Structure 1
Amino acid sequence: MSTPTQHSTAAALVSDFVTSGEALGDRADLARFMREHGLVTEGAIPITLADLDEAVTLREGLREALRGPDGDPEAVARGQKVLDGLRVTVRITPEPEAASVLAPAVVDEVRRGLARVAGAWATVLATGEWRTLRP
């Protein structure tokens, strides 16, 4: 019998994001996911189809990266392009419940949420916790 592993806040966010499946089927789903995970502030979030496409592309890229050598390198490359376009900064004093010391450095609400996912991804990579996540 194996001992269950409790994931860090960062790993839990990454895991929820990569396994969201149909939960990111449309713009309303993306808004709901981002609110439920504290990635955006409350209130209306104008989400474009391009925003949704970017979120799904990032999700697929991270999922394939977690599959390791069996993952689709093209999906990983597309996800990397999304990450390359997100701006994050390091906070001297991180927010109390933050998944990462990296914080969004963008204004657009959706991209801020995706930048928080990027920060969580950086954290699980740095700690090696990504090895315990399953796509």
Structure 2
Amino acid sequence: MVTMTTPTELSSAAALVQAFVSTGDDLTDRAELAAFLRDRRLVTEGAIPITLADFEEAVSLRDAIAAALHRAGGRSFDADAIERGQRILEGLRVTVRLEPSGEPLQLLAPAVVDEVRRGLARIAGAWATVLATGEWQRIRP
């Protein structure tokens, strides 16, 4: 008899999305955003010039993903947050790789030069991955 089990650990894409939506009140300024992006290797090492607009865009994207997860879970959600997040996603440029390096986060690659937008594009790629695999259902905002 074959027993099917559910994986207990999240994929790297789902773990990234989980970490991003879980920042909540911990993501309060540009320095914390820079640390989040650096700690998860979403940007290169060194100084990251983050504008207030960059920070607000990151928070809006985070809030949109959390709202989408709440909606999918049957909880109350902010529809305006989802709309703002969608506009941000539409403004991020990513490219699909024909031969990813084996890591799911490499399926979509940032096609932008700006470090912050590159980090957000990587989060967008992770979100696309968890949507495609259905793993979004295991993420708790």
Superposition TM-score, scaled by structure 1 size: 0.93
Distance 1:111 1:104, change over 3 A: same
Where has structure 1 moved over 3 Å in runs of 4 or more?
Answer: 95-98
1:133 to 127, 135, 139: 139
Letter in 1 for 2:18: S
Please list the CA deviations of residues 14-36 of structure 1 after superposition, one character each: whole Å capped at 9, or x if unmatched.
Answer: 00000111332101000000000
Q: Where do 5+ consecutive residues of structure 2 fail to align?
A: 1-5
2:33 alignment counterpart: 30
Q: Rg larger in 1 or in 2? A: 2
Corresponding residue for 2:109?
103
Gaps of 5+ in 1: none
Q: Is 84-93 or 30-39 further displaced after alignment?
A: 84-93
- Give runs of aligned pairs for residues 64-83 of structure 1, distance below 5 A: 64-68=67-71, 69=74, 70-83=76-89
1:1-135 counterparts in 2 under 5 A? 5-68=8-71, 69=74, 70-97=76-103, 99-135=105-141
| 2: CA distance, partners of 1:122 / 1:67 | 17
TM-score normalised per structure 2: 0.89
Q: Is the 8 A contact 2:108 2:125 kept in 1?
A: yes
Structure 1 residue 4: deviation in Å? 7.1
Secondary structure of 2:8's partner? coil
Distance 2:136 2:66 in 1: 11
